[in-house]
Structure 1
Amino acid sequence: MIKQLLGIRFKQVLKVVCCFCFEYTPDYPGCRIRQKTFGPFVTFLIQGAGRSCSALILIWAAVMIFTGCQTTGAYRVDVDEKALDIIAEKQEQVLGMKKKFSIDRPGDMLRRQLLEHASLPVTGPASLGTDQLSPVDHWPEPGFPEFLKTGNQGFPISDGLLEITLFQALKIGAQNNSDFQTKKEAVFQAALALYLEQDSFRNTLLGQIQSLASSDASKEPSQRGTLTSSKTEGSRQFQNGMTLTTALAIDLATLLTSGGSSSIGIAGDASLSIPLLRGSAKHIVTEPLQQAERNVVYAIMDFERFKKEFAVSVGSRYLTILKQLDAVKNTEEDYRSRIVSARRSSRLADAGRLKEIEVDQSVQNELVARQRWISAREEYKQQMDSFKILLGLPPDADISLDTDELKHLAAILAGKLSSEIAQENEEVAQERNNLPADAPVRLTEPDQGNAGPLELDARKATELALANRLDMQIALGRVFDAQRTVVVAADDLGAELTLLGSASLGERRTITTADLANARLRTDKGVFSALLTLDLPFERTAEAVTYRNSFIELEKAVRAVQDLEDNVKLFVRSRLRDLLEARETLHIQAKAVLVALKRVKSINLFMDAGRAETRDLLEAQDALLSAQLSLTSARVNYRIAELEIQRDMGVLKVTDTGMWQEYSLEKDNNAEK
């Protein structure tokens, strides 16, 4: 009864659909025949609908449910969750902690704020972000990518000018630099690749549904009918190399002629493949999965290493620009003093107290000072533009740096370096002055007595570097990967012995067999088979070449470790030398500035008394400028060397927001205790 009701209802629905599509229904009011060629086909389709409508409705309803319940956005979100779970797991394995990770960039990045606030020139919507792009035809996810507002940028822009501190620059770079984002995406893509490899060892289910309407007029009587078939396949690959595949097919065949016979077909089959020799070991079968897991680890390590390099690069460039800005300040002051000197020389010459040639010398030095001032200003602008690019900001944005960082740096170094004082100890100076001219000269080599906290023993620094450098751990991991490659290549040289088993039960149905009885799954009527295949290793030329190459790649991996180890030692020893040289230069130039200031002051007094020449003043001013520039350079170089040696030893920690946490030997020693 239910089947008849469903059949009647389905017929009515089909009549409406046919009227809409073909404007044809034999007994449906309001429809007209426009395309008579569809008439016979539609007629037999409607007549056969009542016999198979129940199965058709259930089958196609299931199709619509399963295909409609998972949107493109849901697929993306699901994959994102899987990848983030993998990253969190590997982070805990590599770093000992889980860190917040996301590749979604906020829409209110500082770069975009600067472009919009100052109305800077752009090429189009892509300059602002993907959420500003005009969607193309058939875009799968309307509204995605979306504008994500973080609300915690913390970089107020006043009157178009943005002043940033060193730590703000680190944060800005982590948010806006494109290379930083690319490294994060590399981690995410490695996790996606691992997820795909893991899927190879999960249960896989495939489904297919077909509905066929057929009319064969080549026979007498003509034969017309419908066939609805569904097939479900399941497969699973196991880590021992075995592959199991199963399938279940159900057919509903209905004749619309010859009495309207119908028959149900059902068939199931299963096949099993078991490798017994080559490719049968777990470590061979799971090698792609294991390599994908290690690639995620490598990507995380590489990202952590990049964060350290990027943070040091930002800090170094920031301090270098401040050094250049200080050079602008010093050359400006020098330029002003040269102008004053030229004016005074001119007045003294007018009074007959100075030769004209000395006036010319003053004017010439004034011009040279102006050239130095202009060059320093332009160099500062060039460095600032490059620094903005490094941070991922537009170079035409109006940004300034916090000049107090240099004062803060000087105070920090004064606290770190016990011997940085404004002038020499009076007792030492007195002893030096009391020595006779012909006294033996004893040179004092630099020592560690007044060294900073990061001027470690070379051996200690090298051991820290070899233990903490993430790129060294990656290189060592590549050696292990190369060793496994040798094992896999050796396995490919062996014989291949495979056991294949299959079982098939039941029968399929077609329109021509619709008059048979319904099929059943019976084990006593099944077809079973087993096949044992032995592939003898007579021809293994390609595999032998691969095997030999695997040893060469292993040697390369080992050499890469050795080369990196030597370079790490070189970098560490070089940074220690940079620290020592910058420290000594710092002390020397601090004294040189005092001497130069005293010299300029004394010569000015002598000039007023007519006891000094213009050339003496010009030389003193040159010496003062040089000492001032060298002092600032020494401070910056020492700080940069501190950051670089922490980076090269692998002990500098950097958060995902770009902020660094510096190494402390004292804390490290306490942790070991």
Structure 2
Amino acid sequence: MIYAVLTEKRVSLLLLVCSTAIVCVLAGCAADPSQYKTEADERVYGIIEQKWTDDLGSRTNYRISDVPPGPNDIQIERVVPPDGVLTLPRAVTIATAHNRQYQLEKEALYVTALDLRLARHDFEPWFFSGGREGYGKEGNNEGIGGEADIGFQRLLADGGRIGAKVGIAWFRVLTGDVRGGLASILSATVAQPLLRGSDRKIVQENLTQAERNTLYQIRLFNRFRKTFVVEVITQYYLVMQLYDAVNNAESNYNTLVDVYGKVEKLTDAGRVTRLELDRVRQETIQAKDLLVQAQKEYAQALDEFKFRQLSLPVNTQFQLDDNELEGLRLIELSMPEFSEAEAVEAALIGRLELANSSDAIDDAERKVLVAADGLQGELDLYVGLDTTSLSKSSELAGLGALDDNLTADRRRLNPLRRPRDNNPLRSHRDGAEIGIDWELPLDRVAEQNVYRKALIALNQRKREHEEMADWVTLEVRQAYRDLTEAAERHRIQTESLELAKKRFDKALLLVQYGRASTRRVLNAQNDLFDAQNAATEAMVAHAVAMLYFYRDTGVLQVRPDGMWTSEMIARQMTETKEPQITRGEESDLQAEPVQTDAEEVPEQPVPQITTAPAEQPAPQIESEPVKQPAQVTPLDPEEYISEWMKRQKSN
């Protein structure tokens, strides 16, 4: 008899351990992290696609790095083209794909949409299931037991909550006087607020805010893309300006070397003093020093461009395309013909961050309503159903002492487990309850503070929107003045450069005929050198000012390949027989990879800069070469702004 009890005990314990192990193994196999990641990605990008409207820009290049790219996203296989020349469109493409700040912005968009996914899930049915098994001993009574349940809960849009659960509990006696049994529990509950928290707008406030936050982040991401492409193009031009300064410094040095040779011959002939020859020699030495400095500044700026904008290893070897500067020189200069007021009006319509600031007022107004709802009293209606059944009639005296660790649902069996002098146990027990929970608003100091803070926050959002509108107006007015100034300075410096060239040619000719001193030639050459740098600086400043103006007015749009365009420019291209495009645009406006033959890249000498060799060559990634930008034509700003504003107002 004792042996049989021990054997039954061992078998029961073995079954308990095995069942627990099986449950753990099944749970571990079901939790595949990659499946969760894939599902989260699908949910998040489905939300972004749903929220992203066409007026916000192209739906491209917003997927984070560990997610497969979209069909129109930039995919780079080679960073540096085979010819080693990095064109402006190619630089923008690389920056879009690699820039670290760009990656952070994409991740911020992803996380915001992920928060929206969770907010939506709060109003979806969510299921739960669990259980426990254990061994208990008290005195001579010893046994094993377990329980399991499964159910769901759901939050309704009007604040109500519904839930249901089915549970089962069992107990098997190993030794002692008590007997085992099996019980099942079915319960359902409904709770509905009638005062506080009963308004659908109040209940769904977190979901509403999450929905709007996702839209705000999409706007901010597109605003970032606009500022980003302008920043990359601007830095590209500034590096090319330093590159041109190296060319100018090298030309200045070679010219002075040539002048020195001519003056040396005049000195040997007795027509020029030795002092004048030494002055030319001194200027030549200083020109060499300027060349060394210019080479160093260009190399440093190029490395910073690789690091900050392109996020490439600084030892990656390539040269920028000097044809970009030549393309700028071919642009016909024109003064802005549209009014400042028209530019400001366009910005107030098109700036995305200003739209966020305006919508933030609506958010603050809703927060006031939520805070006001918290001042009310509570009145909640609840309904509950409960059914308990046992598999057989048993004397369960003392059973409660062996399974005190079971869940709260099983505690409903406790009244049935009290000793009943061997009376039969009822096999079913049904119950129902209905009632209300209420609370009078006697103490609402905390809620009062929340409400008052919400009113203050509303006033703050209004002031912030006014400040943002004033700031946008200030930016546009400044950009308008900068563009006007840059256009005029470009014209002036171009004229100054032509005059400096003529002065130097005449001065050199006069020296050769003995009708002028070498100082006059040196002064003319210095003026020519300064005029060359000033003309390039003014030209780049003009191009940058134009980009800043389009950016600040909000009319600049980013294409799938990362470059900028606009509806007005595309319309002008379709109306002309020979399509021409603005700076930085290729002839193909479709969102397809841009390809061309390598022979189209002009072969022009670039100044050689001596630097320490890198320990290891930079990794090369294969890709198709990018087409050179086509020649540009001036855009009529007045027509562009007026047409764009009409489109925005009609929308």
- Paired residues of 1:106 and 1:150 also in contact (CA < 8 A): no
Deviations 1:193-234 (A, max 9, x none): 111111111112111122233444x1xxx3333323111232
Deviations 1:229-274 (A, max 9, x none): 1112321111111112322211222334579954220112223322
- The 3-state SS of whatever aligns with 2:313 is coil
Structure 1 residues 561 and 237: alpha-carbon distance in aligned structure 2, compared to 1, 3 A threshold: same
Deviations 1:330-362 (A, max 9, x none): 111111112222333344334332234323332
Name the aligned partner's letter for residue 399 of structure 2: T
Question: Which segment drifts farther, 260-269 or 189-198?
Answer: 260-269
Structure 1 residues 471 and 212: alpha-carbon distance in aligned structure 2, compared to 1, 3 A threshold: same
2:200 is matched with which residue?
A: 282
1:233 is matched with which residue?
A: 151
2:92 is matched with which residue?
A: 170
The CA distance in 2 between the partners of 1:662 and 1:386, in whole Å, is 30
Name the aligned partner's letter for residue 328 of structure 1: V
| Counterpart pick for 2:291 among 367, 373, 377 | 373
Residue 279 of structure 1 and its aligned partner are, at CA, apart by 1.6
Q: Does residue 624 in structure 1 map to residue 516 in structure 2?
A: no
Give runs of aligned pairs for residues 142-541 of structure 1, distance below 5 A: 152-156=76-80, 158=82, 162-216=84-138, 218=139, 222-257=140-175, 262-389=180-307, 390-411=309-330, 413-414=331-332, 417=333, 450-451=334-335, 456-507=338-389, 512=399, 525-541=429-445
> Radius of gyration: which is bigger?
1
Residue 502 of structure 1 and its aligned partner are, at CA, apart by 2.5
Residue 177 of structure 1 and its aligned partner are, at CA, apart by 0.7
Residue 46 of structure 1 and its aligned partner are, at CA, apart by 1.1
Structure 1 residues 301 and 107: alpha-carbon distance in aligned structure 2, compared to 1, 3 A threshold: closer
Structure 1 residues 394 and 256: alpha-carbon distance in aligned structure 2, compared to 1, 3 A threshold: same
Structure 1 residues 99 and 318: alpha-carbon distance in aligned structure 2, compared to 1, 3 A threshold: closer
Name the aligned partner's letter for residue 488 of structure 1: V
The CA distance in 2 between the partners of 1:533 and 1:540, in whole Å, is 18
Name the aligned partner's letter for residue 461 of structure 2: A
2:485 is matched with which residue?
A: 581
Name the aligned partner's letter for residue 209 of structure 2: Q
Q: Does residue 72 in structure 1 map to residue 37 in structure 2?
A: no
The CA distance in 1 between the partners of 2:566 and 2:463, in whole Å, is 32
Residue 176 of structure 1 and its aligned partner are, at CA, apart by 0.7
Unaligned segments of structure 2, at least 5 residues: 401-416, 573-639
Residue 585 of structure 1 and its aligned partner are, at CA, apart by 2.1
Larger RCO, structure (CA 8 Å, separation 6 or more):
2
Name the aligned partner's letter for residue 185 of structure 1: E
Residue 591 of structure 1 and its aligned partner are, at CA, apart by 2.2
Q: Does residue 647 in structure 1 map to residue 612 in structure 2?
A: no
Give runs of aligned pairs for residues 15-26 of structure 1, distance below 5 A: none
The CA distance in 1 between the partners of 2:426 and 2:269, in whole Å, is 128
Name the aligned partner's letter for residue 133 of structure 2: S
- Paired residues of 1:652 and 1:663 also in contact (CA < 8 A): no
CA-atom RMSD in angstroms: 3.3
- Paired residues of 1:187 and 1:296 also in contact (CA < 8 A): yes
Deviations 1:137-190 (A, max 9, x none): xxxxxxxxxxxx9974344555xx842100001010011111100100111101
The CA distance in 2 between the partners of 1:554 and 1:537, in whole Å, is 25
TM-score (norm 1): 0.74
- The 3-state SS of whatever aligns with 1:46 is helix
Structure 1 residues 552 and 368: alpha-carbon distance in aligned structure 2, compared to 1, 3 A threshold: farther
Unaligned segments of structure 1, at least 5 residues: 1-25, 28-39, 109-148, 418-449
Structure 1 residues 518 and 653: alpha-carbon distance in aligned structure 2, compared to 1, 3 A threshold: farther
Structure 1 residues 100 and 163: alpha-carbon distance in aligned structure 2, compared to 1, 3 A threshold: closer
- The 3-state SS of whatever aligns with 1:664 is helix
- Paired residues of 2:155 and 2:162 also in contact (CA < 8 A): yes
- The 3-state SS of whatever aligns with 1:352 is coil
Deviations 1:357-388 (A, max 9, x none): 32333233223322322222111112111111
- Paired residues of 2:335 and 2:488 also in contact (CA < 8 A): no
Q: Does residue 91 in structure 1 map to residue 9 in structure 2?
A: no
Question: Which segment drifts farther, 41-50 or 534-543?
Answer: 41-50
- Paired residues of 2:178 and 2:399 also in contact (CA < 8 A): no
- Paired residues of 1:202 and 1:237 also in contact (CA < 8 A): yes
- The 3-state SS of whatever aligns with 2:128 is strand
Name the aligned partner's letter for residue 394 of structure 1: P
- Paired residues of 1:646 and 1:663 also in contact (CA < 8 A): no
Structure 1 residues 244 and 231: alpha-carbon distance in aligned structure 2, compared to 1, 3 A threshold: same
Residue 476 of structure 1 and its aligned partner are, at CA, apart by 0.9
Name the aligned partner's letter for residue 194 of structure 2: L
Deviations 1:495-535 (A, max 9, x none): 222223333221579882799978756xxx43333342332
- The 3-state SS of whatever aligns with 2:361 is helix
The CA distance in 2 between the partners of 1:591 and 1:383, in whole Å, is 29
Q: Does residue 46 in structure 1 map to residue 11 in structure 2?
A: yes
Q: Percent identity, aligned pairs only?
A: 29
The CA distance in 2 between the partners of 1:538 and 1:93, in whole Å, is 51
- Paired residues of 2:51 and 2:215 also in contact (CA < 8 A): yes
The CA distance in 2 between the partners of 1:244 and 1:182, in whole Å, is 40
Residue 662 of structure 1 and its aligned partner are, at CA, apart by 4.1
TM-score (norm 2): 0.77
- Paired residues of 1:651 and 1:662 also in contact (CA < 8 A): yes
Structure 1 residues 212 and 93: alpha-carbon distance in aligned structure 2, compared to 1, 3 A threshold: farther
Question: Which segment drifts farther, 238-247 or 364-373?
Answer: 364-373
| Counterpart pick for 2:471 among 535, 548, 567 | 567
The CA distance in 2 between the partners of 1:400 and 1:375, in whole Å, is 19
- Paired residues of 1:45 and 1:213 also in contact (CA < 8 A): no
Q: Does residue 558 in structure 1 map to residue 523 in structure 2?
A: no
- Paired residues of 2:76 and 2:97 also in contact (CA < 8 A): no
2:406 is matched with which residue?
A: none
The CA distance in 1 between the partners of 2:12 and 2:348, in whole Å, is 82
Name the aligned partner's letter for residue 613 of structure 1: S
Name the aligned partner's letter for residue 73 of structure 1: S
1:23 is matched with which residue?
A: none
2:625 is matched with which residue?
A: none
Structure 1 residues 538 and 155: alpha-carbon distance in aligned structure 2, compared to 1, 3 A threshold: same
How many pairs are equivalent?
546
Structure 1 residues 591 and 99: alpha-carbon distance in aligned structure 2, compared to 1, 3 A threshold: closer
Structure 1 residues 167 and 201: alpha-carbon distance in aligned structure 2, compared to 1, 3 A threshold: same
1:113 is matched with which residue?
A: none
- Paired residues of 2:56 and 2:222 also in contact (CA < 8 A): no
Deviations 1:49-96 (A, max 9, x none): 89x99xx97x98777656533412111111111111111111138738
- The 3-state SS of whatever aligns with 2:195 is coil
Name the aligned partner's letter for residue 397 of structure 1: T
- Paired residues of 2:93 and 2:561 also in contact (CA < 8 A): yes
- Paired residues of 2:347 and 2:472 also in contact (CA < 8 A): yes
- The 3-state SS of whatever aligns with 2:237 is helix
- Paired residues of 2:52 and 2:218 also in contact (CA < 8 A): yes
Name the aligned partner's letter for residue 259 of structure 2: S
